[in-house]
Amino acid sequence: MKNELINQIKTKMEPHLSEIQIYELNRNLKVIFMDFDVAKIKKSDESKENQELLMSFLSAKEIEGCSKKTIAYYRNTILKMLDKINLRIENITTDDLRKYLSDYKNQSNASKSTIDNIRRVLSSFFSWLEDEDYIPKNPIRRIHRIKTKTVVKEVISDENFEVLRDNCNNIRDLAMIELLASTGIRVGELVNLNIDDVLFNERECVVLGKGESERIVYFDAKTKIHLQKYLESRDDSNPALFVSIKKPHSRIGITGVEKRIRKLGRESDIKKVHPHKFRRTMATKAIDKGMPIEQVQRLLGHVQIDTTMQYAMVNQSNVKIAHRKYIG
């Protein structure tokens, strides 16, 4: 309790003192409190105040256009931290957060990437609190990004894609993988597409991306032919672009697409085939063939270009060719 009280005083005084003054304040407070018994006074509204600030933050994120899935992730991540540290938000210090992240990593054996994701969520939360003047200073500002190992993720080779095509036993699945590969859309965007969203003459469709933002994506002539054949084969009146094979032909969901494509991968003896791999493959091919990264970013619907670079790992053989061309 003494340390908690000292930390609260330090937090209040930090904006007004230098590092040396903070050090001296901390040292003297410990000496002064050494001879005193400090009893903890529980504040019934402590948890309520934390909850109210959290809800205000989540409301702000919702207004900014964050998806329900993202908001739920923010909520769960921040709640875990608040429950573990068990202090009023304004009294949480940098040391508290460092210890929390360290304990989380050790206890759950989480990866560096997971810990950095948590750090980013907490950074967003405390930065917002500081901007809104709920706290005098952001305690996580001095906790820097955690360096993680960059892993070059696999893409679907041209040969493997041909094998997948050959193993499609129905026109729906063929049209589905062609559209994923040609446009690079997310699986959530795929299942939300309606027939009216597709403009066959222009070979384009309008998708609703993250944050309820619309964008136009494009597909090739082969995809157009397969899509038209698939739609001609249907005898239902469902407005959805992709529906289940069996009656009542309801709109296919994300899980349905993922299961079907993973099964197709197993049947084709190709490892780790999933919808997102088509997206990464499209981005990588586009960059390899010279498409400007800003245009790839627009096609994928990314807000930050750094995200696009993570998806599109340039083929190493192309780097070698470019080196010989430009360097010698």
Which of 74, 100, 230, 311 is catalytic? The answer is: 311
Whether 276 and 188 have beta carbons less than 8 Å apart is answered as: no
186: annotated active-site residue: yes
323: annotated active-site residue: no
Q: To which residue do tokens 């402590």 refer?
A: 46
CA-nearest of 126, 192, 157 to 277 is 157
CA-nearest of 33, 24, 28 to 4 is 33
Which of 172, 186, 224, 277 is catalytic? The answer is: 186
Strand order through the sheet with 214-218: 198-199, 204-208, 214-218
Q: Side-chain half-sphere of 230: how many Cα atoms within 13 Å?
A: 25
CA-nearest of 255, 314, 310, 13 to 136 is 13
Which of 210, 215, 251, 298 is catalytic? The answer is: 210
For residue 119 the two structure tokens come to: 């750090």
Which of 137, 153, 203, 276 is catalytic? The answer is: 276
Which of 119, 279, 280, 285 is catalytic? The answer is: 279
302: annotated active-site residue: yes
**Distances, alpha carbon 173 to alpha carbons 121, 234, 241, in Å:** 37, 13, 12
E strand map for 5-57: none
What string of DSSP letters covers 238-264?
A: --BSSB-SSTT-PBP-HHHHHHHHHHH
| Type of residue numbered 61 | K
Virtual CA dihedral for 84, 86, 91, 96, nearest 10 degrees? -30
74: annotated active-site residue: no
Whether 74 and 124 have beta carbons less than 8 Å apart is answered as: yes
Which of 119, 277, 280, 302 is catalytic? The answer is: 302
Buried b (16+ CB within 10 A) or exposed e, 84-109: ebebbbbbbbbebbeebbeebbeeee
Active site residues: 186, 210, 276, 279, 302, 311
